Amino acid sequence: MVALFGRAAALETLDRSRGEVRSGSGRLVLITGEAGIGKSTLAQRALDDAADGGFRIARGFAVDDPGAPPLWPWRRVGRDLPMVHEALTVPDDVSTDAARFRLCEAVAEALARAAEPHGVALLLEDLHWTDATSVAILKYLMSDLVSMRAWVLVTARDTDDTPFGRSWADLSRNPAAVSIPLTGLGVDEVRDWLTSDGDAGGWLTRTADLVARTGGNPFYVAAITRRPPAAPLDSTALDRTIADRAGLRTVLLAPLRRLPPEAQDTIATAAVLGERLSPAILAEALGRSTKQVSAALADGVRAGLLRFGDTGLAFGHAIVRDAIVADLPDDARAAAHERIATAMDVIGDDTLVGPSAGHWDRVPGRGAARRCRERAARAAELAARDLAHDRAVAFARMSLRHAHDLDDGDIALAEGTLRLARYQWSAGLLPAALRSCAEAVDLADAADRPDLMAQAALVPQGIGSIDVSRFTAGLGRRALDRLPDDEFPLRARLLGLLATAAADEAVDGTADALSADALAMARRSGDPHAELEAIAARHFAVSYPQAIDERMALAERAVQLADAAPMGRLWALLWLADIALQRGDLGRWDSLTGDVERLADRSGSPVARWHGVRMHALRRGLVGDFDAAVEHAVAGRRLAERIGDISMLGMYFAFRVQFALIHGTIGDIADETLALMDHAPSIPLITVSRAQIQLAVGDRRDAAATVAALRNLPERMPLGPRWAASVGTLGLLAAGLDDADLAGRCHRALLPIAGWYLGDGGGSPYSFGSNEWPLGLMAHCAGRPDTAADHFRRAVEANARIGARPFVALARLGWARCLPAASQIGSETDEVRALAGEALAEFDRLGMPGPAREARQVLDSLAPSDHGGLTAREAEVADLVGQGLSNKVIAARLFLSVRTVESHVRAALAKLQLTTRTELAVWVHRHRPATETDQAAPASGR
């Protein structure tokens, strides 16, 4: 067992996390620190302990080689875990994103199988060198790790500018993550180490100096102390061994200096070659036989510079290799790179294209620059094909840099920049991709290539961001101005781009005209891809309930063209499902949900899978199966986080907030949602949703202030995406704020869609059934109880037809509240009691505490009292009127709306045959129970 000095706390953390894994709760252990700090030693100790405890063992590692195959750490794991090896087959018949998602899912499922029954310990070393897809698998795994007996150990250097470094924050925040940052050893710890090592004991008196010079780095300490200190052993002993920390190179290179010249040359060239040593490449580069090279490498093994590991021959430590490379003169180092690159090109293996580009990049001269430009461009293409998008970006940048250095013309630079933008977009580097798109448009404009301008403008796709829409629309307009009139497919696609941006901005009429022109032009072009994109733009522009017939026609045509674009079939299915929901045809909705799920299974599309889960959540929430609805919603959130799409994550929070409002328990979801909204675009729907949450948590004043800027929204907002949701949410908010004027205007705007169920073509994350119910709430707030009662009656009938039990009960409760205001109680009392009683029973059955409390309040208000025939609630309100309180203050004290208080005051006046609040106050004082006077008398007497 390896002795580890100064790592007691780390070992204790490892033991604790291993015990949690054995109990069935997986852990990701992140061991980080600088080179030589002891990450591998600690990780190996953890792996040994796991093996002693009966865990299944697997290990993988990344290498410092730009040409390393993607998924290299996981492929190495596959040698120990056959099920992981089987999972690493990427299908060829799906889109890149779908293949990546399917791969992540397959590896996670394979690891879950490997973990049973006794647990699996998996070590992934040096992930600061790994590719983005390998990191994506790790991030995906985090969602399910807590339910596995899997102990995943990761070692990495502290660095931000790598795929792993950029994911560090997300990984470390996960509840399953355990972070072990390693730092240098202290003086006492190094002293204990030297005491235990008889050969190093001569350094004991200089321990403090040793720690000061090395920072307590175990590798550096070992490198210095493996030889006895120079005599005499005084304060200058360490100085004579090494001048400063950078001078450790002298110590590290001492074994190399003792080798024959040919061995030194071979090992130095091997250090330039990189992490993976190939005798065949070295032989070609050095002009020697493989036998000669192998003999020289054997000398390196005997000297302790090289070792045989899991991948064959490699340097014992990256620090040693770095020191050898740094010690070479600049011209010798460049010559070695050139010889290696030439050897790789001669061998002609695709796996060497990337490494070849990396070596040519370090050789000066125009000839080397041309070679690097070509090899890097090819390496980017190969990396993208293998899903290594981050490497594709790196190679594309390298190729483009040399194209600039070689003064390639604007056309070549535009094409290279366009390729870079596409790789960046696929890698999820949104800001960088947008910058590259703009640069490509500028270059293509200068080269008089409007076709390239158009292609650059069309790179950003599938991001629901107004800022991105504005940016790409600007690029699209420039391209349109330059494109010939007969370039119908590209012009149609660009018009669709502009239409989508205009619809996002809610500019009246613009999106409608642009999308119609785009569709007409695409159809004239005969290009199915262009037509399908134009259909998508048109559908987005007319995503409002009143356009249901046109949306149906667009969806049916999209079915015919579904294979023309990667997302075409999914678009068609989702549009048809929205129409079914709007019509209340839940049988059709269920059928289409199944179609979406089958499409997800066939294609591996993570987006399709997310939509299937979203649709199930909506369906279960609609019928009152709240536990299942939340379960599906949470599954959708996990998918959204794995995919990395913030708009999908926003849909989850929208569902949870609406569920909470209907259920009557806003809970912890409010804070999390408000935090997410801080990063959302400033659009009316986000603003009113924020105010809705503020009201739900009791911040009535803040909610009113938030919505103040949107008071003219019902008249100002044109029909289009988010119109129904924005105005509808505003109307419900107005009802909650007792804003009669705003509620009435929202009611008038939404009245044309009363006959449908919630649905506008925009893919709502939730449904509250018939639109009659929210219209009833708005009408009631607006002081139109008869109209409200009619809405609620129709809502009961419509929601009962589709089995929307929560909304049948809510409509009954709303109906009951309307009746006392529509009459003077009298014969209506029994009907109110029946409606509220049925609603309460349903709320109790479904577990809806908020609405149940409101139903009980209605029923309590009907109970007889000793106050001249007033109900208990009417008497309570009357007593507060007698105290001189306003309706608004009474509403706040009794947790009622102002409208409800007004209703109780009118009922009390009618029953007591009074006409004014003053008369009611006088009556209250005359008829206050004697017990109140008796109780008050002693106090006044004192």
Tokens 């990780």, located at residue: 43
- Residues 654-674 pLDDT 10s: 888 888 888 777 766 777 777
Between CA 143 and CA 639 the distance in angstroms is: 9
Asked which of 81-90, 429-438, 441-450 is least confident by mean pLDDT, the reply is 81-90
Percentage with pLDDT > 90 across the chain: 42
- Residues 543-579 pLDDT 10s: 999 999 999 999 999 999 988 777 789 999 999 999 9
Asked which of 170-174, 256-260, 686-690, 867-871 is least confident by mean pLDDT, the reply is 867-871
pLDDT at 337 over 80: yes
Mean pLDDT of 264-292: 89
Between CA 614 and CA 629 the distance in angstroms is: 9
Candidate ranges 190-199, 622-631, 773-782; pick with highest mean pLDDT: 773-782
Mean of per-residue pLDDT scores for the chain: 85
User: Are the beta carbons of 524 and 506 closer than 8 angstroms?
Assistant: no
pTM recorded for the entire structure: 0.72
In the numeric block, which tokens belong to residue 338? 């050139």
Between CA 548 and CA 556 the distance in angstroms is: 12
Percentage with pLDDT > 70 across the chain: 90
pLDDT number for residue 366: 95
Between CA 864 and CA 874 the distance in angstroms is: 10
Mean pLDDT of 405-420: 94
Give 888: exposed, middle or buried? Use CB within 10 Å, 0-12, 13-18, 19+.
exposed
pLDDT at 225 over 80: no
- Residues 876-916 pLDDT 10s: 888 898 888 888 888 878 767 787 788 888 888 888 888 88
- Residues 8-61 pLDDT 10s: 898 899 999 999 989 899 999 999 988 888 888 898 998 999 899 999 999 988
Asked which of 9-23, 95-109, 182-196, 402-416 is least confident by mean pLDDT, the reply is 95-109
Asked which of 242-246, 340-344, 701-705 is least confident by mean pLDDT, the reply is 242-246
Nearest-CA neighbor of 419 among 463, 449, 389?
Answer: 389
The DSSP result for 392-432, as a single string, is HHHHHHHHHHHHHHTT--HHHHHHHHHHHHHHHHHTT-HHH
- Residues 445-487 pLDDT 10s: 999 999 999 999 999 876 666 778 888 999 999 999 999 999 9
How many Cα neighbours within 13 Å face the side chain of 492? 25
For residue 752, cis peptide bond before it (omega within 30 degrees of 0):
no
- Residues 61-83 pLDDT 10s: 888 776 677 788 998 888 888 89
pLDDT number for residue 418: 96
pLDDT number for residue 602: 81
Higher-confidence residue: 864 or 45?
Answer: 45
Which residues, 6 or more positions from 693, have their beta carbon under 8 angstroms from its beta carbon? 657, 666, 670, 673, 674
What radius of gyration, in Å, describes the C-alpha atoms of the chain?
Answer: 36
Pairing of strands 312-315, 306-309: antiparallel
pLDDT number for residue 480: 94
- Residues 518-533 pLDDT 10s: 999 999 999 999 999 9
How many Cα neighbours within 13 Å face the side chain of 503? 28
In order of 660, 725, 883, 897, the CA distances from 877 in angstroms are 29, 36, 10, 12
